[in-house]
Amino acid sequence: MSGTVLAPQATIGVLGGGQLGRMLALAAARLGFKCHIFAPSPDSPAFDVVHRVSCADYNDTEALDRFAADVDVVTYEFENVPAETATFLAARVPVLPDPQILATTQDRLAEKLFVRQLDIPTALFAAVAQPAELTAAIERIGLPAVLKTRRYGYDGKGQATIKNDTDLQDAWREVGGQPCILEAFVPFEREVSVVAARGQDGAVECFDVTENEHREHILKTSRVPAALSQFAVHEARRIAEAIAQKFAYVGVLAVEMFVLPGGGEILVNEIAPRVHNSGHWTLDGASVSQFEQHIRAVAGWPLAKPIRRGRVEMINLLGSEVEDLQRWLTVPGAAVHVYGKAAIRPGRKMGHVTRVFADE
């Protein structure tokens, strides 16, 4: 894959049509590229910002063939694109990041094993393929613990917390009776993430460590810089860089981490092989955005060195909060982003606001 260098005017194919695909397409447009969005839903917000779209299922091989013939490189905006789709396309056109990485990060067990192999700490975990294995796993991990489906989990979906009084059959039903991992509950002090880009030349550029606050498992606020010691900042960046290098990653990834009480020890929680909500602040708060870094990487262009513009806060507009956007429009230094989604649903990511405090 290395060596793909796109000329401006080239077409970047994006699998997935949500707000991440939309913001990738906007970043690609700034650099002179065209985008072609492939997504199953006719309501995909990314469709509105590109001229060419394929509205088809991810297993529609005829549509995928036409898509592959039209684009110069393929990337994706979310990690639950079927790995088979990415593999099918990779036989026809460069796909970045490599579909193998998609396969690893789609499976919590494979992902955890990958991280451990780099000597990077994670929560204790055990595979639970069937209900009968749950008791033994609890004995190893202890309680409380979190049962998570190995695949297709996001924003807290496919998770059940297990305490001493939890009925194990209920928990198993709650996650849908699929292959799982059991993870020790981590009494973290803070949640942070590092959004890192790796270019085709192997150079890595990390954005500053971001501190994240979730509400009902959905990201609500990101703040940067995170309130961490210099040591912890260094460690968080080292971890993200090691993961990007080990994957020989091309593009942007996000590593979500827990900081343990005391502030020194960091565990990896999850890897997202894509641009990430906790990097949205970079659109206004840095000299280059995560979206542009991703486009530069998949285009074979050099990465930029991000310069942060001050203290930054990013607030997600969830569900009907988007109706408040008028009040944000006049807040000095606030930038409002609306994703153009037709239907408002509780907890749905409808937009975000960035506040840049330049003097801090």
Of 50, 1, 56, the residue nearest 21 (C-alpha) = 50
Q: What span, in angstroms and rounded, lies between the C-alpha atoms of 226 and 213?
A: 11
Applying CB under 8 A, among 1, 4, 31, 188 the residue interacting with a copy of itself is 31
Give the DSSP letter of residue 335.
E
Q: Give the separation between CA 307 and CA 353, rounded to whole angstroms.
A: 20
Decide if residue 309 touches a copy of itself (CB under 8 A): yes
Tokens describing residue 58: 């991810």
End-to-end CA distance of the chain, in Å?
A: 41
143/336 with CB nearer a copy of itself: 336
56 belongs to the binding site for a copy of itself (CB under 8 A) = no
Q: Does 55 bind a copy of itself (CB under 8 A)?
A: no
Q: Would you count residue 335 as binding a copy of itself (CB under 8 A)?
A: yes
Between 258 and 339, whose beta carbon lies closer to a copy of itself?
339
By CB under 8 A, residue 25 contacts a copy of itself: yes
Q: Does 345 bind a copy of itself (CB under 8 A)?
A: no
Residue with Cβ nearer a copy of itself (30 or 217): 30
91 touches a copy of itself (CB under 8 A):
no
- Residue 205 CB, shortest distance to a copy of itself, in Å, is 11
The CB density around residue 52, as the number of other CB atoms within 10 Å, is 15
Is 26 a residue that touches a copy of itself (CB under 8 A)? yes
The residue written with tokens 């890192």 in the block is 196
The burial of 311, by beta-carbon neighbours within 10 Å (0-12 exposed, 13-18 middle, 19 or more buried), is given as: middle
Q: Which of residues 266-305 bind a copy of itself (CB under 8 A)?
A: 284, 287-288, 296, 301-302, 304-305
Q: Are strands 266-272 and 251-259 parallel, antiparallel or unpaired?
A: antiparallel
Question: According to the binding rule CB under 8 A, does residue 48 interact with a copy of itself?
Answer: yes
CA 313 – CA 324 distance, rounded (Å): 17
Phi-psi label, residue 247: left if phi above 0, alpha if psi -120 to 50, beta otherwise: alpha
Q: Does 42 bind a copy of itself (CB under 8 A)?
A: no
Q: Quick check: 260 binds a copy of itself (CB under 8 A)?
A: no
- The values of phi and psi at residue 84, to 5°, are -65, -35
The two three-digit tokens of residue 16, written as one number: 């997935």
**Whose structure tokens read 């807040």?**
331
Which CB sits closer to a copy of itself, 222 or 293? 293
Of the candidate spans 42-50, 62-70, 167-175, 246-254, the one that interacts with a copy of itself by CB under 8 A turns out to be 42-50
Chain contacts with a copy of itself (rule: CB under 8 A): 8-9, 22, 25-26, 29-34, 47-51, 53, 284, 287-288, 296, 301-302, 304-305, 307, 309, 322, 325-326, 329-330, 332-340, 342, 351, 356, 358
